Chains A and B, each alone.
Chain A
Amino acid sequence: MSDAAMPAAQTFHDLYRDHRGWLESWLRRRMSNGHDAADLSQDTFVRLLASSQHIADLQEPRAYLATVGKRLLTNFYKRRSLEQAYLSALALLPDDCMPSPEQRWLLLETLQALDELLDGLPTAVRRAFLWSQLEGLGYHEIAERLHVSERTIKRYMAQAYEHCLLVQM
């Protein structure tokens, strides 16, 4: 197989060969676990491969990789922080409220999916939405808690529903 026959793949190969080590150590400096860093570095390249970005056009490949890497890193820590918040909340439950082990882990997966779904919503909107959906609070009560008008809450709720439905499309 001649190199010229597969210019794109060749370029990707070059990119991978030249920058993978750099990206991995870049991530490693930002993470406590070397294995996670290696995983994320692979993910970054996979993203690049799947994206429509023309590799040959990349002027600053490392800047690009760092941008993608940063995004993945943020997601990674979001998932981790959800996991920790969840496990801590579980630990505080009285024994008779404790879900079965199977339920516990299925629930975590559901929560992760919903967390991703809500990602990107402004904090106040997210909170208003959760209070309404999970605690069944009325708009009036939410408005009081957030010190805004009921009209604003209605707008928040519509915004949250729209966001979630769009992400699901």
Chain B
Amino acid sequence: MIGSTPSAEARQVVRAAAQWLALMESGAANERDRANLQHWRDSHPSHEQAWQKAQLLRQRFADLPSALAMASLDRPQTSRRMVLKRAVGAVALVPTAWLISRQLPLDVWRADLRTATGEDKKVQLADGSLLQLNTASAVDIDLKNRRLTLVEGEIALNVPGTSPLTVQTHFGQVVVSQSEVCVRQGQAGCKVSVLKGSVQLQPLRGPVFSLRAGQQVGLQAMGAGRAEPFDVLAPGWRDGVLMAQNQPLGDFLRELSTYRPGLLRWEPELESLRVTGSFRLEDTDRILTLLAASLPLEVHRRTRYWVTLLPRKNSV
């Protein structure tokens, strides 16, 4: 931000430099303009200085990868009303076709609801069902056909009514009515955990089967795995909590990094340390601090978005 208001003279110099630059870039400058510019630059050190600063500014932009920078800096500007709308959690804003939609998977962009890394979102659907999205998740909602498509990430869905909602994943379908379920989709498969009532599952291969509260199962391209029990009452992401029970630190950090925008790195020798505890996900920096307090490691912050964990030297 501006520390102190620049003097009128300084502003005048800046304005002149800006106008020179705009003229030079217009392609309409002639020999005389160039001579005049040189004269202007030579006539006072502050002119040359302003000119150099302007060149540096150009360089900062020139160094950027243009497609990425364009998509980020030229995004649609959110109005205040939209900010408030979003803050209330009613509707997620999905940037649409303005992006570099040429090359790649568009699935995410057709999603009706989406969360950023570290964000979670809870919505009530028109039929009274409750849908919650975990970090970095996207869902297409098609209530007319009673269908939710999990594009990526993880959702929790509570359908109190008798009219079933079908959750479509890459690895099969889950039919939910008068029940509550968590569905998490990864690259290689998805995991379905029933919290309340029971659900019907249709894997890509194999027969339809049902799963009841307290059971979870993995679905893969090859079909369903074996149903296993889990603790329905243990707090989890839906409560904003990350639980660990004697978990290898590497696994814990891999999970944690799905909630953190940015890069989280650690030395291999930290991988096998053990973590136990329940951690509030709303502040992942604090989780790192807590880890450093209880385990022989140090947190190094290169930038806000680049954190490395190192073994603590001379630990007492």
Interface residues of A: mostly helix, strand, loop or mixed?
helix
The count of chain A contact residues (Cβ–Cβ below 8 Å) is: 67
B73 close to A105 (CB less than 8 A)? no
Tell me if A9 is interfacial: C-beta within 8 Å of chain B.
no
Which residue of the partner chain B has the closest CB to A163?
A: B18
Tell me if A23 is interfacial: C-beta within 8 Å of chain B.
no
With contact pairs A85-B95, A158-B19 given, residues A32 and B66 touching in the complex (Cβ less than 8 Å): no
CA distance A94 to B103 in the complex (A): 8
B68 close to A32 (CB less than 8 A)? no
B65 close to A165 (CB less than 8 A)? no
B78 close to A35 (CB less than 8 A)? no
B282 close to A127 (CB less than 8 A)? no
Separation in Å of the B80 CB from the closest CB of chain A? Answer: 7
Among B2, B57, B75, which residue has its beta carbon within 8 angstroms of that of A81?
A: B75
A133 close to B62 (CB less than 8 A)? yes
Among A34, A84, A155, which residue has its beta carbon within 8 angstroms of that of B116?
A: A84
A114 close to B22 (CB less than 8 A)? no
Per-position binary interface string of chain A over residues 81-100, scored 1 when its CB falls under 8 Å from any chain B CB and 0 otherwise: 11111111111111000010
Separation in Å of the A127 CB from the closest CB of chain B? Answer: 6
With contact pairs A134-B69, A168-B53 given, residues A88 and B99 touching in the complex (Cβ less than 8 Å): yes
Among B10, B18, B66, B304, which residue has its beta carbon within 8 angstroms of that of A158?
A: B18
Tell me if B207 is interfacial: C-beta within 8 Å of chain A.
no
For chain B, residues 47 to 62, give those with C-beta under 8 angstroms from any C-beta of chain A: 50, 53-54, 57-58, 60-62
B60 close to A110 (CB less than 8 A)? yes
CA distance A69 to B136 in the complex (A): 27
Per-position binary interface string of chain A over residues 153-169, scored 1 when its CB falls under 8 Å from any chain B CB and 0 otherwise: 11101111110111111
Provide the residues of chain A in CB contact with B58, threshold 8 Å: 133
Tell me if B209 is interfacial: C-beta within 8 Å of chain A.
no
Tell me if B298 is interfacial: C-beta within 8 Å of chain A.
no
Per-position binary interface string of chain B over residues 62-97, scored 1 when its CB falls under 8 Å from any chain A CB and 0 otherwise: 101111111111110110100110111100000100
Separation in Å of the B54 CB from the closest CB of chain A? Answer: 6
Provide the residues of chain B in CB contact with A13, threshold 8 Å: none
A161 close to B57 (CB less than 8 A)? yes
CA distance A101 to B257 in the complex (A): 13
Tell me if A132 is interfacial: C-beta within 8 Å of chain B.
yes
The stretch among A14-22, A54-62, A72-80 that forms the contact with chain B is A72-80
For chain B, residues 242 to 301, give those with C-beta under 8 angstroms from any C-beta of chain A: 261-263, 280, 282-283
A159 close to B66 (CB less than 8 A)? no
The 3 closest A-B pairs by CB, nearest first: A89-B71, A161-B18, A105-B305
Query: Can you list 30 A-B pairs, Cβ within 8 angstroms, ordered by A?
Result: A32-B87, A78-B78, A83-B261, A86-B71, A88-B71, A89-B71, A92-B99, A92-B101, A102-B263, A105-B306, A107-B68, A109-B305, A114-B64, A115-B72, A134-B66, A153-B26, A157-B21, A157-B26, A158-B18, A158-B19, A158-B22, A159-B18, A161-B17, A161-B22, A165-B17, A165-B50, A166-B6, A167-B1, A167-B2, A169-B2
Q: Using A87-B261, A93-B103, A106-B303 as known contacts, list a sample of 15 further A-B pairs with CB atoms less than 8 Å apart, ordered by residue number in A.
A: A30-B84, A32-B89, A34-B282, A78-B78, A88-B95, A94-B103, A99-B65, A102-B263, A106-B306, A130-B69, A134-B61, A155-B22, A157-B26, A161-B54, A165-B14
Residues of B within 8 A of A (CB): 1-2, 6, 10-11, 14-15, 17-19, 21-23, 25-27, 50, 53-54, 57-58, 60-62, 64-75, 77-78, 80, 83-84, 86-89, 95, 99-101, 103-105, 108, 116-117, 119-121, 261-263, 280, 282-283, 303-306
